[in-house]
Amino acid sequence: MNKLVKLYRFLLPFETLTISTNLAFSEVLQKLDEIVEPPKTWRMALPFQKPNKPYGGTITGNTFRISRNIHYYRNSFLPIITGEIYPQTSGCYVKIKMNLHIAVLVFMIFWLWTPGSIGMLALLAWLVDRSVGPIFLPLFGMCIFAWSLCLFGFKIEAQKSVKFFSSLFTSSSEKL
């Protein structure tokens, strides 16, 4: 069962992360405040204008919803990071979830569903009558291309955020 879960996590564009830290709740909020700027409705990348902070979004109470500020390129598959901070007796822990933006997710489902369903019908027709030809191969190729584009674009950015947050919430005494 554990191998199935690992395969599922590898094949789908989402990440979860739980970071336990010795930092107090207020210190975690302060560190988040230092790296998160308010969201901007229209972000225009100019060569001389860099974002002030590495992440943009909102922090409300013990929850946050942010995404990485990327400057030199565009990535529709940039993870939307939601998290909650839970205080403990010694420090706290932060639960982080990374998902695709809902509009990108809907588009990808449509993109994968359309050629995938037509490809399945073409495969069935080919299995019944071989004279039809393997038209399903390019359709399944489109599905594989879309899935890999989405997955790699997401996972590369998610790993950058995982490394960043893991080092951010590690106090100086924990790093020794």
CATH code at position 170: 3.30.530
Q: What are phi and psi of 145, to 5 degrees?
A: -60, -45
Residue 133 forms part of a structural domain: no
Chain segment 30-78, per-residue pLDDT in tens: 999 999 998 876 655 555 566 688 999 999 999 999 999 887 778 889 9
Counted domains in the chain: 1
Q: What is the pTM of this model?
A: 0.83
Residue 62's pLDDT is what? Answer: 93
| Domain annotation covers residue 59 | yes
Q: Count Cα neighbours of 134 within 13 Å in the Cβ-side half-sphere.
A: 4
Residue 135, C-beta contacts closer than 8 angstroms, at least 6 positions apart: 122, 126
Q: Which of 14, 144, 5 is nearest to 77 (CA)?
A: 14
Q: Is 136 within 8 Å of 122 (Cβ atoms)? A: yes
- What pLDDT is recorded for position 44? 59
Question: What pLDDT is recorded for position 173?
Answer: 41
pLDDT average, residue stretch 79-103: 93
Contacts of 123 (CB under 8 A, 6+ apart): 136
The pLDDT score that the predictor gives to residue 175 is 41
Structural domain includes residue 64: yes
Q: What is the pLDDT of residue 2?
A: 78
